[in-house]
Chains A and B, each alone.
Chain A
């Protein structure tokens, strides 16, 4: 068996990474559709939007029914404050009766004064215990929403978050690359430890591997950490040598 690397598998792994990257486009489309659906479901609303954020609250994807929502949204992320960021951070819905008189986000209120946004509800997109982002609806009239109108939006947010979680991808390729790199590093380490044992005891590869597995079994340490230990020992030995 001269070829030990399962090249098919590596090809598959790389294809998967590329597939994951491609789905970012799918996420944007899904978020856009979601925004449109929400607007249609809340007839009193003038517009709606959905934003996805990463673990640090950085926006990764946005869908909106019109440019006003996009502008109001962009202002939030530029200023680092606003109803959606609060909904995301507190994992609770935020209701604004009138943007003109609400003083919770002074910079943001100031920034959107010209945008004819008066009433807003923003609800967090909770997938299990993780908050993926926020949904928002707004109206050009003040006093359109109250806590009761937040409830249907919250209800909608639950299945939406679950679905988005399954297609969300912003961090997946990064994570996948890390997994692949660590798998390859582990293989490489174990291979080198095998080579060392082969050389030291004049073993063939299968026997060397068997020895490693035996060591791992009896010490209850993983094959990887046994191999790392053996190689670290080698290094010390050669350092001590002439």
Chain B
């Protein structure tokens, strides 16, 4: 992948900013680490390096739309795999 392709401005820069900001927020809220995100993204076919992905999460770097969606997908897979919050037991459950 060439630098030109990586940094080509999207027709809608605002959307990319929004996408990376909300990804950042999702990672913060779920506690998914950037390294783990990159590994999953790489595992599902991502082609951009860890350093660039990290910069994208900080909204400092532009990625092609396809890679952004793949990154979002990797994040969502990891978030879906997180253990659910503990539920309160009913008396019956304890008996």
CA distance A182 to B70 in the complex (A): 18
Q: Tell me what chain B mostly uses at the interface: helix, strand, loop, or mixed.
A: helix
What number of B residues sit within 8 Å (CB to CB) of A? Answer: 19
Are A213 and B69 within 8 A (Cβ)? yes
Segment 26-55 of B: residues with Cβ below 8 Å from A: 39, 42-50
Are A182 and B43 within 8 A (Cβ)? yes
Q: Tell me what chain A mostly uses at the interface: helix, strand, loop, or mixed.
A: helix
A148 part of interface (Cβ distance < 8 Å): no
A183-B39, A220-B80, A223-B73 as given contacts; A209 in contact with B49, CB under 8 Å: no
Query: A173 to chain B: closest CB distance in Å?
Result: 16
Are B66 and A187 within 8 A (Cβ)? no
CA distance A81 to B50 in the complex (A): 47
B3 part of interface (Cβ distance < 8 Å): no
B18 part of interface (Cβ distance < 8 Å): no
A224 part of interface (Cβ distance < 8 Å): yes
A216 part of interface (Cβ distance < 8 Å): yes
Are B45 and A187 within 8 A (Cβ)? yes
CA distance A6 to B43 in the complex (A): 11
Are B1 and A190 within 8 A (Cβ)? no
Are B43 and A209 within 8 A (Cβ)? no
Chain A residues with CB under 8 Å of B70's CB are 209, 213
B93 part of interface (Cβ distance < 8 Å): no
Chain A residues with CB under 8 Å of B76's CB are 217
Chain B residues with CB under 8 Å of A5's CB are 47
Are A216 and B73 within 8 A (Cβ)? yes
A191 part of interface (Cβ distance < 8 Å): yes
Contact partner, A1, options B5, B39, B50, B69, Cβ 8 Å: B5
B10 part of interface (Cβ distance < 8 Å): no
Segment 1-37 of A: residues with Cβ below 8 Å from B: 1, 3-6, 8-9, 12
Chain A residues with CB under 8 Å of B5's CB are 1
Chain B residues near A (Cβ < 8 Å): 1, 5, 39, 42-50, 66, 69-70, 73, 76-77, 80
List 8 contacting pairs A-B, 8 Å CB cutoff, sorted by A: A1-B5, A4-B45, A4-B47, A6-B48, A183-B39, A187-B43, A213-B70, A223-B73
Having A182-B43, A209-B70, one finds 14 other A-B pairs with CB under 8 Å, namely A6-B46, A6-B47, A6-B48, A9-B42, A187-B44, A191-B45, A194-B45, A210-B66, A213-B73, A216-B77, A217-B76, A222-B77, A223-B73, A224-B44
Chain A residues near B (Cβ < 8 Å): 1, 3-6, 8-9, 12, 179, 182-183, 186-187, 190-191, 194, 206, 209-210, 213, 216-217, 220, 222-224
